[in-house]
Amino acid sequence: MSVQTKAGPSINVAALAAARADERYSLHSQHLNEMWVRVLKTIGYDVGFSRGVGPYLYDRAGVRYLDLLSGWGVFALGRNHPKVRDALVGVLDAELPNLVQLDVSVLAGVLAERLLGRAPWLDKVFFANSGAESVEAAIKFARAATGRAGLLHCSHSFHGLTYGSLAVNGDAIFKKGFGPMLSDAREVPFDDLPALEEALSRRDIAAFFVEPIQGKGVNIPADDYLRGVAELCRKYGTLFVADEVQTGIGRTGAFLAIDHYGVEPDMVILAKALSGGHVPVGAVLTRKWVFDKVFDRMDRAVVHGSTFSKNDMAMAAGIATLEVLDQEKVIENAAAQGHRLLESFKRMAKDFELVADVRGKGLMIGIEFGPPKSFKLKTAWNLLETVNSGLFCQLVSIPLFRDHKVLTQVAGHGNHTIKLLPALTICDADCDWIESSFAAVIADAHQAPSAVWSLGKTLAEHAIKARLGA
Ligand SMILES: Cc1ncc(COP(=O)(O)O)c(C=O)c1O
């Protein structure tokens, strides 16, 4: 309801969004990223989502979709969770002072206390506004704490797209055209302890950044890898930084993915789902001695920070999120439904030669496709690979979206893995929906010719045109 103030009526956001709904793509093309609009139109994703509730999205025609992307993992509690909403409304209603800056926020103190309660070997929290911003902070803290410049990361890693986080990114496509990068960053293969030891043994590495389960590809390390990482980092005086931006807050069926492996990193980075998806947020949980090396004198009390970090909306949403996780047994649900889906997909892998591997923990699941053995399919696969490696996944994700109303993503460039990152609150009926739609699309992909492979031809033509700049 609009309220009359001295300045005129308040903005009715719902009415504004409805009135201009038909212009969403033209507005974006004109004023924002036109290339992105072209991508959406090419793959038929321009359905105009208008509403989001729990794990579901509704398009302009009111059709319901199951969202297995969750805004790149921010909606662990589903969209518009009522308790997170209430917390946000509560902040506004309370007319809290917010961002006084020359004071401290009680809500930030409470959220920090509760986060550290879940990582009791750590003592301090630094709040930021995103995953990348938290990674930047971790880089600065690690250099300040160790007096070393070197940064080590893994092949296929993803830690964000700002310059510091980009320096520890394992995918060349994100770096191309943006050089030079931050110096002193080096890469080692993921899940390779001898390579890590060799890199650390020069004793010039401030921090080793690693995702316990890599988002690009859903790569899961050997059971003893992270324990080995902890030991090697301790041996060579390097800080062990676990980037849990994607894996944290219950995603893998434990609050932190490192909880599965019994390790205690020197820093844990959180973001994405921490605020229930409503407000940008990030956090670095770390040891007191690291923190004290950064903020070591009163005249350096604000030597690192950001204007909006610790804002009351983000902090309240974070506190509400942690409460919902416990009250609604969200993490237990993620573990149980994740186990069910993993087993179903493993059964599917036995029946379908195009499914090369299925892996995951909790509700972070990767379904990897690979070259088929039968001659007919092999020819079609090879043709597609020649045009654009990784294009096959689009042949699965597009029919899933168009015909089964399931929104999925490919787990990185040139990747043959489709990643499932649904809300952690999904129910049995949602799992039925996922299983039946994947089974139908994958079965169709095993027929050539079929609708899936004629889509392949169209996409290959588009890819060639795009490369030619047409
Ligand atoms: C593991 C990991 N770290 C960092 C980031 C960057 O987070 P943000 O996009 O909030 O900057 C991401 C984003 O996907 C991520 O998955």
Residue 286 binned pLDDT confidence (cut-offs 50, 70, 90): very high
Average confidence (pLDDT) over 277-304: 96
Q: Which residue has the higher pLDDT, 337 or 392?
A: 337
Average confidence (pLDDT) over 146-162: 98
Q: Note the pTM of the prediction, 2 decimals.
A: 0.95
pLDDT of 376 = 83
Domain 49-79+330-467 shares a fold with domain 82-327: no
Asked if the bond preceding 449 is cis, omega within 30° of 0, the reply is yes
Cα 372 to averaged position of ligand 1 atoms, centre (Å): 33
Average confidence (pLDDT) over 435-448: 93
Distance between CA atoms of 316 and 371, rounded to whole angstroms?
48
Average confidence (pLDDT) over 164-172: 95
Average pLDDT over the chain, rounded to an integer: 94
pLDDT of 430 = 98
Residue 468 binned pLDDT confidence (cut-offs 50, 70, 90): low
Cα 272 to averaged position of ligand 1 atoms, centre (Å): 7
Hey, which residues does 125 pair with through a beta bridge? 285
pLDDT of 459 = 80
Residue 470 binned pLDDT confidence (cut-offs 50, 70, 90): low
Cα 330 to averaged position of ligand 1 atoms, centre (Å): 22
3-state secondary structure at position 278: coil
**Protein residue with least CA distance to atom 13, ligand 1:** 160
pLDDT of 1 = 44
Best residue among 129, 243, 272 to mutate for probing ligand 1's pocket (most ligand atoms within 8 Å of CB) is 272
Q: Which of the residue ranges 185-199, 398-412, 447-461 would you say has the lowest mean pLDDT? A: 447-461
DSSP letters for 34-63: HHHHHHHHHTT--S---EEEBTEEE-TT--
Asked if the bond preceding 180 is cis, omega within 30° of 0, the reply is yes
Question: Cα torsion at 170, 172, 178, 182 (round to 10°)?
Answer: 30
Residue 4 binned pLDDT confidence (cut-offs 50, 70, 90): low
Average confidence (pLDDT) over 423-449: 95
Q: How many residues does the chain have?
A: 470
- The atom number, within ligand 1, closest to the CA of 162 reads 11
User: Given strand 56-58, what is the order of strands in its sheet?
Assistant: 51-53, 56-58, 64-67, 406-407
**Protein residue with least CA distance to atom 8, ligand 1:** 131
Third-level CATH fold of 49-79+330-467: Aspartate Aminotransferase, domain 1 (3.90.1150)
- The atom number, within ligand 1, closest to the CA of 247 reads 1
Q: Which residue has the higher pLDDT, 411 or 319?
A: 319
pLDDT of 425 = 98
Cα 334 to averaged position of ligand 1 atoms, centre (Å): 21
pLDDT of 469 = 62
Residue 181 binned pLDDT confidence (cut-offs 50, 70, 90): very high
The encoded tokens of residue 225 equal: 């890898």
Q: Which residue has the higher pLDDT, 436 or 395?
A: 436
DSSP letters for 372-392: -SSHHHHHHHHHHHHH-TTTH
Is 2 a residue whose pLDDT tops 50? Answer: no
- The atom number, within ligand 1, closest to the CA of 244 reads 1
3-state secondary structure at position 2: coil
Best residue among 133, 154, 156, 158 to mutate for probing ligand 1's pocket (most ligand atoms within 8 Å of CB) is 158
pLDDT of 113 = 98
Distance between CA atoms of 46 and 106, rounded to whole angstroms?
43
Third-level CATH fold of 82-327: Aspartate Aminotransferase; domain 2 (3.40.640)
Average confidence (pLDDT) over 44-48: 94
Is 9 a residue whose pLDDT tops 90? Answer: no
Q: Where are the domains of the chain?
A: 49-79+330-467, 82-327
Residue 354 binned pLDDT confidence (cut-offs 50, 70, 90): very high
Cα 419 to averaged position of ligand 1 atoms, centre (Å): 15
Q: Which of the residue ranges 347-351, 369-373, 449-453 would you say has the lowest mean pLDDT? A: 449-453
Is 198 a residue whose pLDDT tops 90? Answer: yes
Summarised one tens digit per residue, pLDDT across range 82-115 is 999 999 999 999 999 999 999 999 999 999 999 9
**Protein residue with least CA distance to atom 3, ligand 1:** 159
Residue 415 binned pLDDT confidence (cut-offs 50, 70, 90): confident
Q: List residues with catalytic annotation.
A: 158, 243, 272
Is 331 a residue whose pLDDT tops 50? Answer: yes
**Protein residue with least CA distance to atom 16, ligand 1:** 246
Is 3 a residue whose pLDDT tops 60? Answer: no
Hey, which residues does 150 pair with through a beta bridge? 205
CA angle 437, 446, 347 (to 5 degrees): 60
pLDDT of 386 = 86
Binding pocket residue ranges, ligand 1, CB within 6 Å: 72, 130-132, 135, 158-160, 211, 215, 243, 245-246, 271
Is 405 a residue whose pLDDT tops 70? Answer: yes
pLDDT of 381 = 87
Cα 103 to averaged position of ligand 1 atoms, centre (Å): 30
Taking the CA atoms of the chain, what radius of gyration do you get in angstroms? 23
Distance between CA atoms of 112 and 285, rounded to whole angstroms?
9
Average confidence (pLDDT) over 163-179: 95
Best residue among 159, 168, 218 to mutate for probing ligand 1's pocket (most ligand atoms within 8 Å of CB) is 159
- The atom number, within ligand 1, closest to the CA of 272 reads 10
Best residue among 127, 214, 245 to mutate for probing ligand 1's pocket (most ligand atoms within 8 Å of CB) is 245
Element (H, E) at 87: helix 82-94
Residue 265's Cβ-side half-sphere holds a number of Cα atoms within 13 Å equal to 28
Is the separation of the CB atoms in 321 and 274 below 8 Å? yes
Cα 174 to averaged position of ligand 1 atoms, centre (Å): 13
Average confidence (pLDDT) over 409-417: 87
